[in-house]
A and B are shown apart, each in its own frame.
Chain A
Amino acid sequence: MAKKMIIVDTSECIACRGCQTACKQWNNLSAVLTVNRGGYENPPDLGYNTYVKIRFNEKEAGGDVRWLFGQDRCMHCTDAGCEMVCPVPGAITRDSNGAVIIDQNLCTGCKYCVFGCPFDIPRFDSANKEGFGKNRAFKCTMCADRQGMGMAPACTKTCPTGALTFAEKADLPDVSARARKAGMTVYDGDALSTNVVFLLEDNPDAYGLPAKPAIPTPAYLWRTVMKPVGVVAFVLGVLAVITHLVTVGPKEVEEGDDTPSSSPYQGGGGSDVSSPR
């Protein structure tokens, strides 16, 4: 299947939070008991049972406060940090539509993906409410199950204003050109090439998005750099030891009157070393 994308046109968003509700409904996610924090933004954070959340960013300009509605959600990176750091084969995969999916049946709860994600998206079911085991990671699936049946993701299906649209990734150049003409910033994760594309009315910082999204440097060093370094270092170490053994050779103890054994490896093989020669 061709790659798809979700376009988030922030200029069209009215923060009705229909996407939050539709997501919970389709994915059968439980509600979160929250408290009034003095604003409309709710719940306070993504969670194992909250895959998308409208963020009410406030921006002050010329004595006026303006709302910049953004959406917290998995960006479905083509170069996905979570997938890179995941140690379990198949636990985090990308499908042919471009969706990055966590399989909670395979997830072991190591939390590597939380810290490998450039956008701080995966969340944990620390109390095992979903029954997969403690600390399994959850996040938006780009409704891969719906896509498999030829349907659009639930959030895009429900969005009443057209802020969320589901499109072919191949259309991105056209969409970008139109958005730029309208004075908007196109945010597609740069080198990460996210399959969720934001059309922003302000700079990414104002929406709580990283200005220069990238797989975290320590995660990259940890996995992509240190793995071959470690393997090569070990092989070279073994070769160095073998080279020393066959060239310089072992430091033998010269047999004296008080050395007991004919074997140079006294004790190593459990030979009878206690009887004098």
Chain B
Amino acid sequence: MSHHLVKRFSSKERLVHWTNMCTFIVLTLTGLGLYSQTFFGLTSIFGGVDMSRVIHHYAGLVFIATTFLIFFQWFKDFTAAGEDSLGDVISSYMNHDYESPPSGKLNAGQKLLGFIVFSFGVIMGLTGIFMWFPDLLGRGIQQWMYFLHNFVFILFMLLILLHVYLGTAASPGTWRGMYKGTVTKAWAKKHHGAWDGDEV
């Protein structure tokens, strides 16, 4: 019946990624509410500013933990050799006739994303811990922690916007890999020609 499907991500891998995704959304909404009076209305979603802070702190811990789990569970895919380059990936999304060398399980852009997301996660986690316990550092350094947390968040948000777009509307059939864990053979051939996934 389902000979046309290929296993993409295990349920364990998907659970980790989903947890990371959900905490990212919660952290974004609570974080914006805690950032500025402009976004203060968002704190009411979470039962006020005090509760927003509690949720932000503990969701942050889960987010950092799952960021590490993601990095390690896909580390060998992030570091795998591949024939395609980042330029190939970009070109293939800008021009559908572009002939890109076949990608492995992850294309060059996804590998790069893996490293950037991990780096951003670590920076957000570190600066976040110092915002939670602001007396650990000197005054001058601490002031930069707030700025860094905010600055890296903006980059992170843009990156995740791109990631979500490429994983859904820009590339039909991809979402299934994160939703059900399987993709169609045709999808695998089109996007990851050099990847030899297991049939389901």
Q: Tell me if A248 and B94 are in contact (CB < 8 A).
A: yes
Among the listed stretches B16-24, B75-83, B108-116, B156-164, which one makes contact with chain A, having 4 or more residues with CB under 8 Å of it? B156-164
B143 x A115 contact (CB < 8 A): yes
Closest to B95 in A: A248
Pairwise interchain contact A265-B172, C-beta atoms closer than 8 A: yes
Q: Is the CB of A108 within 8 A of B50?
A: yes
The A/B interface has a contact count, at CB < 8 Å, of 154
The reply on B117 being an interface residue by CB < 8 A is: no
Q: Is A244 an interface residue (CB 8 A)?
A: yes
Q: When the two chains form their complex, are residues B173 and A264 in contact, meaning their CB atoms are under 8 A apart?
A: yes
Q: Is the CB of B143 within 8 A of A218?
A: yes
B54 smallest CB distance to A (angstroms):
10
For A218, the chain B residues whose CB sits under 8 A away are: 143-144, 146-147
Partner of A268, one of B93, B161, B176, B187: B176
Residues of chain B contacted by A116 (CB below 8 angstroms): 143
With a cutoff of 8 Å between Cβ atoms, the chain B residues found around residue A251 in the complex are 92-93, 96, 170-172, 190-191
Question: A274–B1 contact, CB under 8 A?
Answer: yes
Docked-complex contact B179 and A219, CB < 8 angstroms: no
Shortest Cβ distance from residue A235 to the other chain B in the assembled complex, whole angstroms: 11
The A-contacting residues of B in range 7-47, CB under 8 angstroms, are 33-38, 40
Q: Is the interface of A mostly helix, strand, loop or mixed?
A: loop
The total of chain A residues at the interface (CB under 8 A) is 55
CB distance from A89 to the nearest CB of B (A): 5
| Residue among A217, A227, A267 with the highest chain B CB neighbour number at 10 A | A267
Q: Does A114 contact B (CB under 8 A)?
A: yes
In the complex formed, the residue of A with least CB distance to B171 is: A251
Chain B residues, Cβ within 8 Å of A111 = 134
Q: Across the interface, do A266 and B50 meet the contact criterion of CB distance under 8 Å?
A: no
Within 8 A of B (CB), among A72-88: 85-88
In-complex Cβ contact of A87 among B36, B154, B168 (8 A) = B36
Query: A58 at interface (Cβ–Cβ under 8 A)?
Result: no
Q: Is B142 a contact partner of A115 (Cβ separation < 8 A)? A: yes
**Nearest CB of chain B from residue A174's CB, rounded to whole Å:** 36
- Which residues of chain A are near B165, meaning CB under 8 Å? 241, 244-245
Encoded as 1 (CB less than 8 Å from any B CB) or 0, chain A from 202 to 244 comes to 0000000000000011110111001101100110011001001
Q: Is the CB of B37 within 8 A of A266?
A: no
A112 CA to B175 CA in the complex, in Å?
A: 40
Contacts beyond the supplied A114-B134, A227-B35, A253-B190: 9 A-B pairs with Cβ under 8 Å:
A108-B53, A109-B53, A221-B147, A227-B38, A230-B157, A245-B170, A261-B184, A266-B176, A267-B173
Pairs across A and B, CB under 8 Å, 10 listed: A87-B33, A88-B49, A110-B53, A116-B143, A241-B161, A250-B172, A258-B4, A264-B173, A268-B176, A275-B1
